[in-house]
């Protein structure tokens, strides 16, 4: 899937990653910290997190297709390099979300030690994931817009 209704699929898929990965990271932390939230949302977050893992390769593949069709630039190169790391944020979030769901189903109350370890891991992994996706998205926005938005209405570059 390279295009959707004439638009590059990457442009559409990336929005799903930018929204859903931080959401799954937030839910990961909340389910790790709160037994009440864990009972209600551990399962849905495990499903959401796995969905994000499946979306990342689709998004990067669509991005590679798009990369071959736009002019090369340093910002584009940086974005593609960073984009390749997205899976390394998505997998740990999904793995820990599944662990939390599994532990919650197996035992109604996780032990204090397990809860503490899972909470610390969730905070670290969730924060890393959100920051990583921010960096990828920021570099993509710069690659897409840095040269085209700086022109004024007459099409001339503004003085620097």
Q: What's the pLDDT at 109?
A: 67
Distance in angstroms (rounded) separating the CA atoms of residues 72 and 67: 8
Give me the mean pLDDT over the 4-30 stretch: 93
Number of domains, the chain: 1
Give me the mean pLDDT over the 15-25 stretch: 96
Q: Is residue 127 part of a domain?
A: yes
Distances from the Cα of 101 to the Cα of 35, 40, 45, 151, angstroms: 11, 10, 8, 50
| pLDDT over threshold 80, residue 11 | yes
Distance in angstroms (rounded) separating the CA atoms of residues 33 and 88: 23
Q: What's the pLDDT at 30?
A: 96
Give me the mean pLDDT over the 147-155 stretch: 55
Q: Domain residues for 9?
A: 3-144
Q: Is residue 107 part of a domain?
A: yes
Nearest to 14 by CA among 71, 77, 66, 73: 66
| pLDDT over threshold 80, residue 108 | no
Which residues make beta-bridge pairs with 8? 3
Q: Is residue 40 part of a domain?
A: yes
Distance in angstroms (rounded) separating the CA atoms of residues 107 and 35: 11
- Which of 33-42, 53-62, 140-149 shows the lowest mean pLDDT across its residues? 140-149
Q: Is residue 151 part of a domain?
A: no
Average pLDDT of the residues of the chain:
89
| pLDDT over threshold 70, residue 148 | no
Q: What's the pLDDT at 151?
A: 52
Q: Is residue 159 part of a domain?
A: no
């Amino acid at each position: 899937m390279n295009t959707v209704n004439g638009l590059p699929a990457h442009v559409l898929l990336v929005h799903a990653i930018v929204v859903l990965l931080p959401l799954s990271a937030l839910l990961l932390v909340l389910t790790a910290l709160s037994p009440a939230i864990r009972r209600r949302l551990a399962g849905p977050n495990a499903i959401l997190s796995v969905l994000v893992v499946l979306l990342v390769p689709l998004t990067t593949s669509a991005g590679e297709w798009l990369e071959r069709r736009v002019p090369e630039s340093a910002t584009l190169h940086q974005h593609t390099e960073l984009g390749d790391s997205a899976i390394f944020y998505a997998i740990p979030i999904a793995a820990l979300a599944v662990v939390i769901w599994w532990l919650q189903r197996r035992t109604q109350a996780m032990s204090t030690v397990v809860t503490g370890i899972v909470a610390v891991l969730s905070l670290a992994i969730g924060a890393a994931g959100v920051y990583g996706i921010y960096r990828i998205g920021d570099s993509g926005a710069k690659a897409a817009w840095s040269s085209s938005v700086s022109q004024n209405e007459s099409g001339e570059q503004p003085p620097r």
